Amino acid sequence: MTDRSPRTRPARREPVRNLSRRGFLGAASGALVLGVGLRLAPATAQTRAEGPAAVAPKPGTRVAAFLEIRPDDSVRLLSPFVEGGQGINTGLAQTIGEELDLDPARFAVECAPPGPDYAVVNGLRMTGGSFSTRSSFEAMRRLGATAREMLLRAAAAELAVPQASLTTGNGRVIHAASGRSLGYGVLAAAALALQPRDDVALKDPKDFRWIGKPVARLDMRDKSTGRAVYSIDIRLDGMVHAAIRHAPHLGTEPEAITNAAEVRAMPGVQAVERLPGAVAVVADTWWRARTAAEALQVTWSRPASEGVATVSAGFSSAAMLAALRDAPGPGVPAEQAGDPDAAFAGATRVVEAAYDAPYLAHAQLEPPSAVARFAPDGSLDLWVPNQMPELFQQVAAKTAGLQPDQVRIHSPMLGGFFGRHFHYGPASPFPQAILLAKATGRPVRVLWSREEEFGMDALRPLSFARFKAALGPDGMPVALETTAVGEGPIGRWFGALFKGPVDSSVVEGLDQKPYAIPNRRLTYVKVPHPVTIAFWRSVGHSMNDYFYESFLDEIAQAGGQDPFALRMTLLKDSARHRTLLQAVADLAGGWTRGPFQAANGTRRARGVSMASPFGSETATIAEVSLENGEARVHDLWIAIDPGRVVNPAIVKRQVESAAALGLSSTLLEQVVYEGGQRQARNFDAYPILDRARMPRVHVAIVESGAPMGGIGEPGLPGVPPAVVNAVAALTGRRLRSLPLAKETLSGA
């Protein structure tokens, strides 16, 4: 299907066109929630189950939709999830292979095309929210067990023996009494013609061979040798390349291109197009397209002076933060326990603080791209990084003026997740590829330059929270009042599905805490952002756990308590959390806050935090020193309790990578708006964590037996507060605004 050689057809000149906003945005404008296509239509003949009397099956149950058993007894698995470094392909192979009795190394895994069979996440299909493994674990085990039972049944008929006399062994059905055996590949056709049974038995976990073991990742060799194919690598016969220049202010439009004729005459240029909020140049190579796009002289419409139709010329991060700080209360109740008013009235001491965290870019190393090709019959093939194939299929269909079944979505491996690959309207390149392919009659690859990516990326929202705690005569907190202010991606993009006054992505990490503070009140004040906001790794937890756990250290200081001891006391009702907190202390060789002198003579301190993100629990300790006015993190100890584990090696790597991103956001990262525009347009002005700043990361996995939690994101939220709490011990200053690079730090 793909051709990676850069063959092109002779260039042809095209006039400047103004491609319609209606076609571009389709259902994506305004209330285009991510829920488009989430409620899938009932299964049709395409989703028929095995057997002549079959009816449309429950998603995740039709063996033939997932497994192609090959003649060599290996398996091609069509995964409902997208691989983007989180290891889901390997985890699924382990889970299905365990019950199928087939070594996971014999699986070749691809992302499945859109279809109702793959809506295994509570009737939805999405790769995100650290939800893939935990949402599909039982279903994928049952799928493997069902396939194995069908193979046994087919073998029993072929060998004319009772099914109970057969066993399996890594891709073969064995009749020990006669010494005969049949490979899965020989039996596959007959087996898949059988009606699956609903009562197949699953393995006893004590007999697991692969689940719970550090099985090597299936994609390791391809990534190491450059064979892994990402969207940016796709090449098609006759494909041309497009570079984009977006409007300097979000929501403004190109009004005129004064030198279009000169640009069309540049080498290799085939078309100059106007797009909603952008201009594009199509050429025979991407570099020629980019060079030409940068040469365009464009007159843009003026941004609004105020409001949210566009990002106004006066918009700034500082002004947005001021709007959050000044937002009127009292807000919508999100959580309440006890009688906070009475507790505050009788308090021995009241502690108050306000925290904020900045806009953040995804800053992924793979720049956004998409390839669109119209077939002679008018149908569309689209290669696009995505986390929801069905959503992208429906938005692409609306953009192209087609029916969804006329759009074939190809989901390459992702160069990183972080919530970047949902559809965020103007922050997505694939509608541009569709419109340009339609306009030019050629397959088109759109690739955003790094500057365009930084200019258009959908951002983690700038956030603000206010805290007030009441302390009793023993210094222990008796009441906590929290106000979360802002807007989150769930409210922005999923609002039509998750109706209600409280945006969970604004309050998560602030609510449902395990600490035994008897009187609590959490309220939410909505303040919309005019910029495009998005999911970001660990979403609301990425800032809210920093807010909460830092303020908890302030409570400890005000009450004369050690922060570790305070947490242990407040966790008196949760043995699971106390065990985890003790586990991280043991991993770190014991708890001491400091400051203390390390073996090499440096003055250091430690900070501790806990977090409960995405169904898992974490406890984190950071050891920090100060160097040249900056925080230097030497070690991070992270204990994670995800309930149960499929692949401990993948868990460890995911925790390490999440910790790196959490530390990067703590020390360095921020998107700053001035005059309605982002100031950083590349990594030179948006520094991320480098190797010199990367600490040692020590991970302990504690399997409590609780329901399985997520893995990809939970390692992040505990890092910012642990680091900031250590910095407070070193400096005597409580830093309530990230990143730390905004401050010059010195010892107390």
Q: What are the b/e assignments for 21-57, b being 16+ CB within 10 Å?
A: eebbbbbbeeebbbbbbbebeebeeebbbbeeeeebb
The yes-or-no verdict on residue 17 having pLDDT over 70 is no
Q: What's the CA angle centered on 71, arms 70 and 76, to 5 degrees?
A: 10
Q: How confident is the model at residue 247 (pLDDT cuts 50, 70, 90)?
A: very high
322-341 per-position pLDDT tens digit: 999 999 988 999 999 999 99
Contact between 242 and 280 under an 8 Å Cβ cutoff? The reply is: yes
- To the question of domain 16-38+59-224 being in CATH 3.30.365.10, the answer is yes
Tokens encoding 250: 């979000």
Contact between 232 and 447 under an 8 Å Cβ cutoff? The reply is: yes
585: Cβ contacts below 8 Å, ≥ 6 apart: 564, 591, 621
- Provide mean pLDDT across the span 142-171: 97
Contact between 257 and 296 under an 8 Å Cβ cutoff? The reply is: yes
Reduced to 3 states (helix: H, G, I; strand: E, B; else coil), residue 213 is: coil
652-692 per-position pLDDT tens digit: 999 999 999 999 999 999 999 999 999 999 999 999 999 99
The yes-or-no verdict on residue 5 having pLDDT over 60 is no
270-301 per-position pLDDT tens digit: 999 999 999 999 999 999 999 999 999 999 99
Give me the helices (H) in 559-574, please.
563-570
Unique residue bearing structure tokens 């590349």: 682
Where in the chain are all domains bearing CATH 3.30.365.10? 16-38+59-224, 238-303+368-447, 317-360+459-742
Q: How confident is the model at residue 101 (pLDDT cuts 50, 70, 90)?
A: very high
Q: What's the CA angle centered on 633, arms 632 and 635, to 5 degrees?
A: 150
Reduced to 3 states (helix: H, G, I; strand: E, B; else coil), residue 26 is: helix
d(CA 164, CA 152): 9
The yes-or-no verdict on residue 54 having pLDDT over 80 is no
Give the architecture (CATH level 2) of 317-360+459-742: 2-Layer Sandwich (3.30)
**Helical packing angle, 132-159 and 88-100, nearest 10°:** 30
Radius of gyration, CA atoms only, the chain: 28
The yes-or-no verdict on residue 531 having pLDDT over 50 is yes
Give pLDDT, residue 416. Answer: 85
The yes-or-no verdict on residue 454 having pLDDT over 60 is yes
- Provide mean pLDDT across the span 598-617: 96
475-530 per-position pLDDT tens digit: 999 999 999 999 999 999 988 777 789 999 999 999 999 999 999 999 999 999 99
DSSP string, 102-144: --GGGEEEEEPPS-GGG-TBTTB----TT-HHHHHHHHHHHHH
Count of H-run helices and E-run strands, the chain: 20, 28
Unique residue bearing structure tokens 């397209």: 289
Unique residue bearing structure tokens 């609002």: 495
Unique residue bearing structure tokens 């309790």: 641
Amino acid 335 reads E
Tokens encoding 687: 């520094």
Give pLDDT, residue 16. Answer: 56
Tokens encoding 562: 């050690």
Computed over every residue of the chain, the mean pLDDT equals 91
d(CA 469, CA 447): 50
The yes-or-no verdict on residue 21 having pLDDT over 60 is no
Give pLDDT, residue 729. Answer: 98
Give pLDDT, residue 436. Answer: 98
d(CA 567, CA 571): 6
Lowest mean per-residue pLDDT among 120-124, 305-309, 455-459, 547-551: 305-309
Reduced to 3 states (helix: H, G, I; strand: E, B; else coil), residue 621 is: strand
- Provide mean pLDDT across the span 395-406: 97
Reduced to 3 states (helix: H, G, I; strand: E, B; else coil), residue 325 is: helix
Reduced to 3 states (helix: H, G, I; strand: E, B; else coil), residue 195 is: coil
Please give the backbone phi and psi of residue 671, each rounded to the nearest 5 degrees, phi first: -100, 125
Q: Percent of the chain scored above 70 by pLDDT? A: 92
The yes-or-no verdict on residue 349 having pLDDT over 50 is yes
67-92 per-position pLDDT tens digit: 999 999 999 999 999 999 999 999 99
Contact between 529 and 424 under an 8 Å Cβ cutoff? The reply is: no
d(CA 732, CA 593): 13
Q: What are the b/e assignments for 584-604, b being 16+ CB within 10 Å?
A: bbebbeebbbbbeeeeeeeeb
Query: Which has the higher per-residue pLDDT, 19 or 248?
Result: 248
Q: How confident is the model at residue 258 (pLDDT cuts 50, 70, 90)?
A: very high
The yes-or-no verdict on residue 609 having pLDDT over 90 is yes
Contact between 492 and 719 under an 8 Å Cβ cutoff? The reply is: no
97: Cβ contacts below 8 Å, ≥ 6 apart: 75, 103, 104, 106, 107, 144, 210
Give pLDDT, residue 39. Answer: 31
Please give the backbone phi and psi of residue 606, each rounded to the nearest 5 degrees, phi first: -125, 150
Would you say how long the chain is, in residues? 748
**H or E stretch covering 624:** strand 617-627
Q: Percent of the chain scored above 90 by pLDDT? A: 86
Give pLDDT, residue 18. Answer: 57
The yes-or-no verdict on residue 741 having pLDDT over 50 is yes
The yes-or-no verdict on residue 41 having pLDDT over 60 is no
- Provide mean pLDDT across the span 408-425: 92
Give pLDDT, residue 737. Answer: 98
First to last CA, the chain: 63
Is beta strand 630-641 parallel, antiparallel or unpaired with respect to 696-701? Answer: parallel
Regarding the domain delimited by 238-303+368-447, which CATH topology (the fold level of the hierarchy) does it fall under? Aldehyde Oxidoreductase; domain 4 (3.30.365)
Give pLDDT, residue 226. Answer: 93
DSSP E strands, 646-706: 673-674, 677-678, 696-701
